[in-house]
Structure 1
Amino acid sequence: MGEGVLVPEFGGTLRIGAKVRRGRDWMSGNSDGGPRGEGVLVGVYEHNADGVNVKWDHNGSERWYNATSSCMRLEYVHTAAEDKAERERVERVERQRKVDAEWEACRPSAFTALQSEVESLRTEVTSLKAERHQTSPAFTSFSPSALGGVHTLTERARGFDGEAVAVAVKNLKTYLPLVQGIAPQAQKLREFTKKNKRSKLVTKKCSTLSASLAKMHSAYHTSLASLTALHFNPGDVMQRVRSASDLLVSISAVKGISLPQDRARLSLADTRKYFQVEKFNQAVRELMELIGPIIDCQATIEQCMKDLKGLETPDTEALTALDQECGTLLDTLQRLAKDQAAAQVLVQQLERTPHVTEAEADDEECEIECLGF
């Protein structure tokens, strides 16, 4: 905008091209137009360091004024662009102040965290170096007989058909809900038959008993039909699943053994043990691959074993006999309910029949005899 002009009234330097306005205490008498006109600062008066030349907007004339004169006071006119620039400058300063404050606040903790991480890495590296020259407790205590144990488990595992075990588990999951459901149903029917003896049924409301028994017997009969229609032997299925569970328990104790990383530092005995452990680990890998299909069913097998605890194998013959007994009892109740309904009708008819006294009956009898003569 040009060179700076010292204007004390504005508290500093005003640049050429700045817009100014006459102050409120402007005094007329200078032939430069009306009060409160706006102008543009165009230069410094040649003969007075405090004088400034102002070009007024209304007539384009140039006048010089003493900036310190009380009657020639000027006011600085802010433009919209200058206001926006000033706001942006203040915002930049404030943002930078906040960033600096946050950095100053977090710098000690960040440095401490970094230092802690470096120490942790240093400790880990030291530990790894130490482990490289150490042997694991399992390696130290390894005995060649452990390899024989793995071979024994491998032979046991070969006797298992993974697909057959999976089918057995599936069948057991079908069988268990049936057994768990029919047991309480049978118990309710036994209690019903015990409470309602056939010899005393005529004294009870057979229609209500018939409805209750029909509902219980229907559900029980359906469960029994599903149980007896199974295409597999539940005993064989449970035995296969139990054997698979026992094998999984035995194999779960078998773990691979970590080998020393620095074999060059091993003694002769440890070198021999190193290769023995290698064979052991290879045998464990083969065992795990062989038993893989059963391991896939491990969670289901464990759940089935929990469900089998305390479960009594149902006696299908006894359950069938109970079904027949309840069916017979239901037929009896339904027949008696009909008889009781018919008897109730007769009772109602009898109640509507007029009552005849003994004397009236004798008179009627005599009259009949007379008519006979």
Structure 2
Amino acid sequence: MEAVSSDKGLLFLSAATRRRVTGGCRALRNLTLFVVVIALANVAFERAFPRRSHCLLDSKLNHLQQQIDRYDVVFIGSSLVYRGVDPAVFNEELSKRGWQLDSFNFGVPGIQFEEMGLLIERMVAMNPERLKWLVIDLHSLSYLLGSTGWYTKRHVAWHTPSATLNACVRLWGGRKRFATKLNLTRVHLGHLVMKCLNIGRGGQLLDGSPETPTERNRGYESLEMSYRTAVESGGDSAEKQLAERARVLDVYRKFYSEDVSALKTRIQDDSETDGALPGAFDRLLLARQNKRIREAGMMPLYFVMPADPTVFPIGLPARALHRAGDIVLIGDYHDPLNLPELFAPKNRYDRNHMSETGARLLSELLAADFVRTAERHR
């Protein structure tokens, strides 16, 4: 009797366990199905209504969408490019050398390498027939998410899973403090969640698509132009801010000159080690980007814009990448040793950006180096 009772107890427990397991599996299946349906719905929504940030980047993308076959060369980079490369001057210098090309400035303040990759994908998807060269400023490879502008539409827009992963890997391979890395990782993941769940999209749909402004100067706008626009539109705060940026450089010219001298010394000292290659992951990302551009029938060319003299001389690893065959480098212009005129106060609007005279000088140098490089790689 005891054996039978024991067997019945085991059978009872076994049945209860089976019910619990069955119920758990059913709940897990339903949860998985729910997540898959939500994910597919979000993907469909994203494709039907592409996320727009209503900013300079979208305005320039809209312009290229309509007129990309007008251009042979597109410059890509941060505000350094936006404020420092004048396509009209570049085209004029090319014409003097027998090259009849048209170029466009796709400089966008604060652009990161991952955001640039998605931008290039958008340009490739336009199937340009005439566009042959993408000229990319390498400073973007050293940029990480800053301390301002978090959770804006623009930053959320580029946080795809792969771009977020790449940004986090680059972040943890950098030299920031451990606490800063943890915090920025949290911020990146927050952007990713917002993008995947389409948070904030309802209001964006009500806003409509950003208007495409009348394109001026092929995407280039100097800080002097911005100042004049602020004056004409009566934008007191913007006007004062731009005027202050120019005044600070003038007042603290001594400190600026000392920083330029320090940059010269650093370049001279580091040049003796022949430059150090960037990390393996950065090189992998560059290789993928170059492959994608070439598959689209274009040629990736790189250069280093002159920046604030306290900025790391990225031209040294850029030259190392060029020697290793990873990139084709047009020129390193963040170098006061060889190009002191680009660091002269008269050619700077502020510490970080060229003035109109500086942009003209840089665009002339860039055109000459572009022709030499393009002729070698025909």
Q: Shorter-chain TM-score: which interval?
A: under 0.3
| Structure 1 length-normalised TM | 0.20
Greater RCO, 1 or 2 (C-alpha within 8 Å, sep 6+): 2
Q: Which has the larger radius of gyration?
A: 1
| Structure 2 length-normalised TM | 0.20
